[in-house]
Structures are given as C-alpha cells and as structure tokens.
Amino acid sequence: MAAPSFQVQRLWTMDDGTACLLVEREDAPKFEICVVRGDQVLRQNRLYARGSAQMLAETWRSNLGHISKG
C-alpha cells in the first residue's frame, strides 16, 4: 500500500511565528488549512474547494492580527 501523497503550501506567516499552511490531499475534502505556532495547532479545517480554504485562511489572519494588536 502506497503512502498517501499531499502538497503543502505556506499561505502566510506573522511576526510571532504563527503560520498558515494549505495542505492538498488526495481524498475529499481535499484542502486542509492549519494555523500553527511552534508545535501547537491553533486552528484547522478541511474544505472541498481551494478558493474557500484560501478565503478562510485570510479571515483567520485578519482575526489573529486584530487579537495581537488588541
């Protein structure tokens, strides 16, 4: 049995080391976004469309930016 393949793309990073990764998987829902800081996963979701995943990632970046400035 072959290991599942996937591609990882960094969508954005913040000054505190928080990063958002987009993982494209073979199985549905195909697109997973993860917000991580160090070894900790802060947010995670799987979606069926790349555009939806990217829009959610931008929403998360905006929300986290407001929290760090507040």
The residue extents of the domains of the chain are 6-69
Give the confidence band of 67 by pLDDT, cuts at 50, 70, 90. confident
Q: How many CA atoms lie within 13 A of 34 on its CB side?
A: 13
Instruction: Check residue 14 and report its DSSP letter.
Output: -
Rounded to an integer, the average pLDDT of 50-63 is 96
Determine the pLDDT at residue 68: 65
Q: Enter the tokens of residue 49.
A: 């469309």
- Is the pLDDT reported for residue 1 higher than 70? no
The DSSP secondary-structure symbol of 11 reads E
Instruction: Render 18-70 in DSSP notation, one character per residue.
Output: -EEEEEEESSSS-EEEEEEETTEEEEEEEES-HHHHHHHHHHHHHHHHHHHH-
pTM of the model: 0.85
Per-residue pLDDT tens for 16-54?
A: 999 999 999 999 999 999 999 999 999 999 999 999 999
